[in-house]
Structure 1
Amino acid sequence: MPQNDTAITPFDQNSNSKAIKAPKVDWNEVDVKSISEILVAMKIESCKIIVSIETVDTDWGWFYFGHDRCNKRAEQIVRNGSANLSVADKPLWYCKRCRCNVTNVSPKYKLHIGVQDNSGTCKLMLLDTEAEAIVGCKAVELWDGSYDEIEDPEVLPEPIRELVGQSFCFGVFLENDNVTNGSDIFMVSQIWSGDKLLKAESHFVVSRESSMISGGEVSKSDPNSQTTSEGCSTPFSKRKDGDLPDMSSSSKKLCTKIVKVEKSKKD
């Protein structure tokens, strides 16, 4: 597991689905919450959760093909009635962001995982940089070299399957879709693990106990009981500016989409 302490710059999307920089978050000042708390949150904000990975959601492909220059999802173009799927032939793709035909594409992570703590369960989405931080290698290193549609999404590379059972502290955004529409899928923007995770747990236990004392509830608590939620302190991963792909739910099950054209246009 790489030990990267560099802070990241979070991202959001505007109404035109263009990636824009959001104000930098001081994750040391962000509250730690339980899953049950974020599921009923009433405001848009950033928070931290400490959870274990329960499942990898195979209803979604574990990667998409993205343009290497901008990381935006690319759509494969069919030439002369058939798609060139050979690596040597360099299939032609269309990049929506750059608005041109390209050949320099590669797999980018887009992992959907189910996580749990003692209060409940929810789903998290990790894009390329964050997923790489917990998997331990780039998506292209797990790719079989084929540009074909994923035939069996249930078949996952071993490093991804091994994520199940591991615990992390994730920095997540509670976005409008979560707060207003009740979506239980949260975008991950920061990750902590290892020694930082252990320190975070201790810090959160102390902060929760202090909160109970200040609220006059200490007499109701069992001194032998353990807190069911935990917290964190120092950032783990860094997102690159181009990591945000098309976030629409239509990307389920696959990583490519065929665009039929009779003849390719020049960039």
Structure 2
Amino acid sequence: MIRLPKENISLAIVQSKPLSMVSMMSEEEDYFVKTPQKTISDILETRKVERCYVRCTIASIDNDMGWYYISCKVCGTKLDMLHNNVHPGRTYELDIRCMLYCTKCKMLNPKLKLRY
């Protein structure tokens, strides 16, 4: 039992405050509910610089090239590997070297850049 001091202290009875509502959503779920959603076409059509977060489900991972792809250093386009060293419109002697082609720059064996 706690004993209060014998001084004249007045006490007031105050109604209790209602309990605050607790969200049943995790912080991540709450974030995505409050964040405006856009379609890919909305993002492509936007005229202003924005930060986007992409929420997706990964269907599969292609492990043949690891976590990167080979792109053209000039334009960033993924390079095509030419089979049997065949280049559209040209003839070459069969060579064991790998030949890559940028369809955008129309360059054979351009400078490479690995992209993720």
Q: Give yes or no for TM over 0.5.
A: no
Larger Rg: 2
Relative contact order (alpha carbons < 8 A, sep ≥ 6): 1 or 2 greater?
A: 1
Structure 1 or 2: more strand by fraction: 1
TM-score, normalised relative to structure 1: 0.19
Between Structure 1 and Structure 2, the one with more helix by share is 1
